[in-house]
Amino acid sequence: MIFERQDGVPEFSCDEYAPKKSRYCVLIPIINEGDRIKNELLRAKNAGVHELCDIIICDGGSKDGCTEESLLRSLGVNTLLTKQDKGKQGAQLRMGFWWAERRGYDGFITIDGNNKDSIEDIPRFIEKLEIGFDFVQGSRFIKGGRAINTPITRLVSVRLIHAPVISLTARKRFTDTTNAYRAYSRKYITHPQLQIYRDVFQTYELLAYLSVRATRLGLRACEIPVTRAYPKNEKTPTKISPFKGNAQLMKILFKNLFGAYNPK
């Protein structure tokens, strides 16, 4: 099925492999993740994640075979959404949230598809949603969390720049603010003063905005411990280029600080 482009939502195709089975879904934005997403989904299946929540792949247009239907079905994926439009991670997430919201989920968990995060910890996010939290940030830097092989440049930028600025903007302390491993309540995503379906959110703007808006709207937010492990002696799996990408992140960070993404 093809969903045509509309205001704030890119054009995309939808392949449903199973009906809605849970109150919660996991949205995984990917593009050409190869064996990384296969291994992540295998870990999720072994941990029974697909029995707790529906796994939705939000693909940006992969060409490496990682979204082959028989593979995804065998690994417990519920639905594949494939963006047919411009934009990167922000557009993929808007596509995913829009579709999942209309499917009637009560909560939405997001996680990168590069096999760095402890997907086995998804039950912890569900527990927080169940007791009324609206935004749950996964953190490797709080008690119980684990940061494994984190590149020093990432460690310094998150701890000394990104987290302090996001915390200042949100008026609440957060410690791992570039981490996309999070959960959001339906109350938050559908809040009339949030309005995520806007084309300004093309790359990493949406993650920054969602980090701070919940507490500014008086909603409940918390952090929970997770593990983020970078591969040892291998190239860092990331879509962020060292110079242009990080400069873009800093620009987004400070635009967010001054309210550039708030609804007009």
Q: Which strand ranges, in their side-by-side order, compose the sheet holding 182-185? A: 2-3, 12-16, 79-83, 54-59, 24-30, 107-110, 182-185, 135-139, 221-225
CB 223 within 8 A of CB 176: yes
From the centroid of its chain, how far is CA 128?
17
Q: Mind listing the pLDDT tens digit for each residue in 142-163?
A: 999 999 999 998 899 999 999 9
CB 223 within 8 A of CB 175: yes
> Is residue 65 domain-resident?
yes
pLDDT at residue 242, as a whole number: 55
The 3-state DSSP class for residue 139 equals strand
pLDDT at residue 237, as a whole number: 55
Measured in degrees and rounded to the nearest 5, phi and psi for residue 174 equal -125, 150
Q: Mind listing the pLDDT tens digit for each residue in 191-248?
A: 999 999 999 999 999 999 999 999 999 999 999 999 999 998 666 555 555 556 678 8
State the CATH number of the domain containing residue 183.
Answer: 3.90.550.10
pLDDT at residue 18, as a whole number: 98
> Is residue 93 domain-resident?
yes
* The pLDDT of residue 170 is above 60: yes
Mean pLDDT across the stretch 86-95? Answer: 97
Average pLDDT, the chain: 95
> Is residue 105 domain-resident?
yes
Can you read off the two tokens belonging to residue 63? 């060409």
pLDDT at residue 238, as a whole number: 59
* Structural domains in the chain (count): 1
* The pLDDT of residue 44 is above 80: yes
> Is residue 113 domain-resident?
yes
pLDDT at residue 240, as a whole number: 54
**Amino acid in position 249:** L
CB 106 within 8 A of CB 23: yes
CB atoms within 10 A of CB 189: 20
Dihedral sign from CA coordinates of 29, 213, 116, 162 = positive
pLDDT at residue 239, as a whole number: 55
Can you read off the two tokens belonging to residue 146? 């684990």
pLDDT at residue 235, as a whole number: 61
CB 194 within 8 A of CB 97: no
> Is residue 264 domain-resident?
no
> Is residue 262 domain-resident?
no
> Is residue 135 domain-resident?
yes
pLDDT at residue 205, as a whole number: 97
pLDDT at residue 232, as a whole number: 85
Length of the chain: 264
* The pLDDT of residue 66 is above 80: yes
Domain assignment of residue 144, given as a range: 2-257
Burial class (CB within 10 angstroms; exposed 0-12, middle 13-18, buried 19+) of 235: exposed
> Is residue 164 domain-resident?
yes
Q: Mind listing the pLDDT tens digit for each residue in 116-138?
A: 999 999 999 999 999 999 999 99
Using pLDDT thresholds of 50, 70 and 90, give the confidence band for residue 184.
very high
As beta bridge partners, residue 223 has: 137
Q: In angstroms, rounded to a whole number, what is the distance separating the alpha carbons of residues 60 and 165?
A: 29
Which residues are CB-neighbours of 91 under 8 A, at least 6 positions away? Answer: 10, 60, 83, 85, 201, 202
